[in-house]
Amino acid sequence: MTQTATGEAARDRVERAALELFTSRGFDAVTADEVADAAGISRRTFFRYYPAKADAVWGDFAAHVERLDRLLHSADGGRPVLATVCAAYAEVNDYRDDDLPALRQRMRLILTEPALQAHSQLRYAEIDRVVAEHVARSTADDPAGLLPRLVAASTRAAATTAFAAWLADERTALGDQLRRTFDELAAGFPSLRG
């Protein structure tokens, strides 16, 4: 219990330090040693917490994916699949206002730093798997089939695009941006025809 508590606290310190250092000096210019030092742990322990330097930016991403999975499992089967996926994305990313600055910082890093951009693909693959499985359940299809894969990949593309737009424009809420972007996708890009 105490160990878990200190472990959690240490992880929190690491993630704060990582966000701070990477933002101010750039991901590549900061060594894992520096992050570990700033968090008061050893380099070795850092790499036990996070399998890669980049993972310190993502926090507990497995829990994130698990939440998304649960939401999709418990979703109303009568609703259109895209609407369900959009709502799940929106709910998973519905942060408290106090957490928004950290979220912005994290997403800005992930979307701009090449090394993190590359690493993100590995995280996104976990999301895609969960979404593809949901589509497969809804359509009695193979999760590895064309449609589940396509829906997973393109909704994820929509979500990251929405994130980028949200970062660029401080005014609109993330949830609204997600819904707007999904609408565009689901309707086959109506503004291209207008």
Q: Give the burial string for 33-67 (b: 16+ CB within 10 Å, else e).
A: eebbebbebeeeebeebbeebbbbbbbeeeebbee
Q: CA-CA distances (angstroms) from residue 52 to 43, 48, 58, 125, 190? A: 12, 9, 11, 16, 41
Nearest distance from residue 65's CB to DNA, in Å? 20
Exactly one of 117, 129, 143, 179 binds a copy of itself (CB under 8 A); that residue is: 117
Nearest distance from residue 28's CB to DNA, in Å? 7
* For a copy of itself, the closer CB: 32 or 147: 147
Return the structure tokens found at 74: 């418990």
* For DNA, the closer CB: 7 or 145: 7
Please give the residue ranges that form the binding site for DNA (CB under 7 A): 2-3, 6-7, 10, 30-33, 40-45, 47-49, 51-54
- Interface with a copy of itself, residue 187, by CB under 8 A: yes
- Interface with a copy of itself, residue 110, by CB under 8 A: no
CB neighbours of residue 182 within 10 Å: 21
Residues in 22-81 that interact with a copy of itself by CB under 8 A: 80-81
**Which residue, 133, 134, 186, 119, is CA-closest to 157?**
186
CB neighbours of residue 139 within 10 Å: 13
Greatest CA span in the chain, whole angstroms?
61
Nearest distance from residue 62's CB to a copy of itself, in Å? 16
- Interface with a copy of itself, residue 146, by CB under 8 A: yes
* For DNA, the closer CB: 116 or 136: 116
Nearest distance from residue 115's CB to a copy of itself, in Å? 9
Please name the residue that has the structure tokens 């690493």. Answer: 119
Nearest distance from residue 15's CB to DNA, in Å? 14
